[in-house]
Structure 1
């Protein structure tokens, strides 16, 4: 976990990565606006937080925590069993982590869940930055394209295309 935190902190010092992290912040703000029913306009989107409970960064933290806990239970078997257990358990860890993120997001109004969510939101302070208006515009455009693609896919699936 310490290696992950140090890595995220250090790459966040690079100017190009800081720009990527600002786009990441713009993405979160735009998703917040969509979920809140706000208009997808720069002025409206800007007021939202750069932290989001279902972020991939949160997923990464949950994966690390669950992996550590699970592999403590597995113990230290011979090397071949250890390697095999890692490979076999990766899908299980990913699935459990996904469900934990969904649960924490769905229950974020609960005090206990908010407390459990806090470390992952803090971690996002390393991977998001406050975006400029142009970055917010890009995030809005990208989200509109995704929504339009979803509508086309839904229409095709229902035979309306």
Structure 2
């Protein structure tokens, strides 16, 4: 585990960090105290062939991120109210993930594919149809982020997102994990999930352009079937860019994702960085 790449996620007034065997969620409670909860990570996911096979492990990582993310959000939300024991059950987590996946499929598969299909009479070229579909998909993605960013509560989450990145940078630089040291680093990180999603959006344009013309329902089914492949390729690209972020070509490749993170991260205050440090220290070896 010496080369384990730590990562995390911003939650409600806190940060979740994922370690080799467990995750830790650090949350600032309304009374200003910091509470940290550690939870084991499903052993089958770490040991399974799914997480050891290139391309396929991207699907496993996506499942892992969804499950851990919902659990972390559930815990962080429970710390902001009076009933601290009220957290989602396994069934409720499964239902939440299913709803999230259906909503994502509708927004980023059904809507763009339908829009491009409706204008095929005016855009008969199949490649141009697929290009238009990709433009609509990226437009929906940006609109979603911009709308979310207008919410005050999300602004706070974006600050914790920036705190998570700063602390990961400090850890990877090998410096002591203090608030002052972490604050010296940028809020952008090449392995961020925001960059991963942008990779997915762009790769969909390339992969979907290879598909034949078909009825709308078949187009949607084809695209849904290819999502694991696109996610897998994107995952490998993110891992590669995280290993060699300073290389010239790699730097150019990851720049759009870093620019996009300016929308999904904000400069955190010292207290938010302190929370992120607590989360990483709880799982760091």
Between 110-119 and 74-83, the greater mean CA deviation after superposition = 74-83
Query: How much has 1:80 moved relative to structure 2?
Result: 4.2
TM-score (norm 2): 0.50
- Tell me the residue number matched to 2:279: 142
- Tell me the residue number matched to 2:156: 19
1:76 counterpart SS class:
coil
Query: How much has 1:53 moved relative to structure 2?
Result: 0.2
Asked if residue 36 in structure 1 is aligned to residue 180 in structure 2, the reply is no
If asked which structure has higher relative contact order (CA below 8 Å, sep 6+), I would say 1
**CA–CA distance in 2 between the matches of 1:102 and 1:7?**
26
**CA–CA distance in 1 between the matches of 2:283 and 2:214?**
46
Query: How much has 1:81 moved relative to structure 2?
Result: 3.1
Once superposed, which parts of structure 1, at least 4 consecutive aligned residues long, lie more than 3 Å away? none
Task: Give the greater-gyration-radius structure (CA).
Answer: 2
Structure 2: which 5+ residue stretches go unaligned?
Answer: 1-137
Asked if residue 57 in structure 1 is aligned to residue 194 in structure 2, the reply is yes
Which structure 2 residues correspond to residues 105-124 of structure 1 after superposition, within 5 A? 105-124=242-261
Higher share in strand: 2
Higher share in helix: 1
Query: How much has 1:87 moved relative to structure 2?
Result: 2.6
Structure 1: which 5+ residue stretches go unaligned?
Answer: 152-161
RMSD (Å) for aligned C-alpha atoms: 1.4
- Tell me the residue number matched to 1:156: none
Equivalent pairs, count: 148
**CA–CA distance in 1 between the matches of 2:216 and 2:153?**
40
